Structure formats: structure tokens, C-alpha cells
Structure 1
């Protein structure tokens, strides 16, 4: 059984149908890159998987449990599926350590000592244990994003959704964040990544999903998708990336 099963998912905002019947099954340990032009529905798909947007039709199941739009199910889902955003969404008045501790204590009701131990462990994992007491404005963008990754990992998710997590970063900071993601992939973490980093998609991901106008247009191993795109839309998209 797949870890995440997305079946005929549709999502509209008013009269604008953004997702037009999406089918993707994600196996445990897979790293999936979702690529495509702006407006093709990539970020909306991630937000639906995490329950931040409710779907209009179809089903999403995570670890065998179907996603239902009530508070109890959504809370259970968010414990299983972590999400990292383009903007780091850290609380500016809390230190890096406290940012990583907070959701554990609020959502999982973890005691402070245990939450701190977990926070130190995860900040160490992303190479930032020495910044435990630093505030977000004392950190670079890359460091802030790594704290956001540590915060997601502290909830011990079975999968991580990454929504263009490097696109707000200066070019020289992109690699330090991707290095952390690469490490997670090598440890067997299930990852779904909306990304513009084609080389990363080619080198690290097990499958690439090309979305176009709200549909999964092509899907396959990176070698196949990048080397021999089957449709003019993907050929054009890859040409634009290479330009």
C-alpha cells in the first residue's frame, strides 16, 4: 500500500478549477519532485495533502487513513505530514530552539524538557545546534529555513512536504538547504517537493511529476522525464529552465 494516495483530486477557487483530477501514489521513502510553470497547481496540491485546503472531489489517504475535513482528522494528519514553506514562518520573538519546541508542546503536549531535547537533536541534524539561542533576525535566510526544517522534523512526521523552500533564498544559500534535504532523502524520509531546482530533481529524486494546467502531465524517473520528455509542454518547460 502506498504511503500517500491521491485519487481523482479536484480543487476549485470559485469558478477557477486549479486541480483537475490528480492521481499520484507515493511510496514510503520516495522523493518526488513536482515541477511545472507558476499556476499549474503545484503548491495547491501540497496544501490539499496537508489539509490546508479542502478538496472539492476525490480522495487523499495518508498511511491508509482518508483525509476528512474535520478538526480531529486534520490534527492527526498534520502530526503525520510536515510542511515547510517558501517563507520560513518562524516566530520572530522566539529563539531558534523555542521555535522548534513550540509545536511539540502545543500540538503533541510534549513536556518542556523532552521538547528541548528533541529540538537540540533536530537542530544538530540540520547543523544549527550552536544557534539554539539565536533569534530569527540573527540568522541568514538559509539558517532560518533549516530551523523550519528542524521544527517540522521535531514532530516526527512520516512524510515532509516542501513548497519551493529555496525560492526565497539568495543563490549562495540554496545549497546549504538542499544539502539538508539530500541528507533526509538518504535517510529514507518520504519527501514531496515543489521545486525549481532541476539539477536537484535529477540527482536526488526518485520520480518527477510535471504538472501543467492543473493536471499531472508527465510522471516518471528523472532520467526519463528530463532526457526524453514526451510532450511539447514539458519540452518547452525544460527549455525555459535551461535558458
Structure 2
């Protein structure tokens, strides 16, 4: 695995454009993310937020522009380059996507075993350690259907961390949860931010974005419309679009 270039950005995006047929969803995105930076991405549904995350981890193919993570360029036609990139990028989705037939511990161990050929004993020790980290040390042998939504999402976080990613992408990871379970997941994400994990998160939790992010990006109609420190973006929105968006949300 390439040694990360700690002097430059860990994520670098230049003039990224993505269309579905004639519908251009991303209209020339430029973004640089420093190692250890926490970025919250906000905006209305359909503004391109989730598509941007899915481009960063290679789930969506973009039409033009350039994207690299940890010095690894994203090259869709090159299977080896895509495998390499995905080892640098972890992603957590709205739906937990756990394998129902595998125990919690086996869900966390699966990718390192398959991709990195991690020794099973070492893999189990790592999985147990990560489950303790997300507050689920006692659930190693439980199955997903025995867990609450908040617990399943914390297992999904442990599973993403098992690959030791350079960057963690979080796509509305609390939107499928009952309100009383949101806090337990956000506390885990906040602890990762404090520990220096590079995070890009699409979120509707404005108070959380304000609290943990270094920068907030407001996306509007496929573009980065405003970007800045949370106090500035929430306190002094510069455009009518952001003012209107913030007024429409109660947090």
C-alpha cells in the first residue's frame, strides 16, 4: 500500500462531473480535504451530496474530472487501482447492509479476511477490539436481527474501521434511525473525529455538523455553493439559497 502523502491533501477532486443520462448531477466539483479534517456536506435532497460520496469510493463512475485518495488516482478501467483505492476508503450507508446470516463478529472480520488475507486469530482480536470501541464488546456472537438500528449502525462503523481506511465516508448514517438512537451513533463518529480520522459526512444533523466539523460544504444543484467553517456558514450565510435552506430546517 502506498505511503500516504501527509504534506498534501488526502482527498483531491478536480472539476468532477457526473451525469445520469442527460441529468448532470455534479457540475464541476473542486475539493481538497486535508488529513484529519472533518467535513460536513449539507444541502437539499437531489443536490448531489450522496453522489459525490459514491464517486469518491468508486461506486459511481464519473464522466470527467479527476479524483485521488491518499495519492491513489481513481481509475475505473483499472481493477487493481480500484481495489487499491477501496482499501483507503471506508463507507457507511443509511441502511446498515450487514449480512444477516453472519454474527456481528464475522461481519466485522469478513472484509479484512477476504481482501487483506488477515489471519483469522488476528482478525478476531481486531474485530473484538473494534466492537469495544463502538460500545458493543458484548455483541460479538450476536446476529444482526438481535440488535437495534443504532447497534447495527455501530457494527457497520466497526466493519468500515476494520479495513483501517485513510478516509471514512458517512452517508446520512442516522437518517434510518429512531430519534432516540441517533445520539449513540453520533457519539461514535464524534470520537473518531477527535482521534483524527479524516471524515466526509453527508448529514441532516445541523447541530452535530456545527459541533464536530472543521468545514461545512453547502451543495446546491450539483455545485459547491458555499463552503467555510461552521460558525461562518451557519452564522453568516452569504447566499439566498443557503439562507433559505437553513431557514427550512429545524434542528
User: Which interval holds the TM-score relative to the shorter structure?
Assistant: over 0.9
Partner of 1:53: 60
Residues 37-186 of structure 1 aligned to structure 2 (within 5 Å): 37-69=44-76, 70-186=78-194
Partner Cα separation in structure 1 for residue 58 and residue 225 of structure 2: 23
Query: Which secondary structure state, in structure 2, belongs to the residue aligned with residue 242 of structure 1?
Result: coil
Partner Cα separation in structure 1 for residue 32 and residue 236 of structure 2: 22
Query: Which secondary structure state, in structure 2, belongs to the residue aligned with residue 60 of structure 1?
Result: strand
Partner Cα separation in structure 2 for residue 140 and residue 18 of structure 1: 34
Partner Cα separation in structure 1 for residue 113 and residue 250 of structure 2: 45
Q: RMSD of the TM alignment (CA)? A: 0.7
Query: Which secondary structure state, in structure 2, belongs to the residue aligned with residue 51 of structure 1?
Result: coil
Find 1:236's aligned residue among 227, 244, 251.
244
Equivalent pairs counted in the alignment come to 243
Deviation at 1:197, TM superposition (A): 0.3
Deviation at 1:175, TM superposition (A): 0.3
Which ranges in structure 1 are unaligned for 5 or more consecutive residues? none
Deviation at 1:65, TM superposition (A): 2.0
Partner Cα separation in structure 2 for residue 180 and residue 113 of structure 1: 26
Deviation at 1:64, TM superposition (A): 1.7
Which ranges in structure 2 are unaligned for 5 or more consecutive residues? 1-7
Partner Cα separation in structure 1 for residue 59 and residue 122 of structure 2: 28
Q: TM-score, normalised by structure 1?
A: 0.99
Determine whether 1:30 maps to 2:37.
Answer: yes
Runs of 4+ in 1 over 4 A off after TM superposition: none
Determine whether 1:210 maps to 2:187.
Answer: no
2:10 and 2:32 in contact (8 A); partners too? yes
Query: Which secondary structure state, in structure 2, belongs to the residue aligned with residue 52 of structure 1?
Result: coil
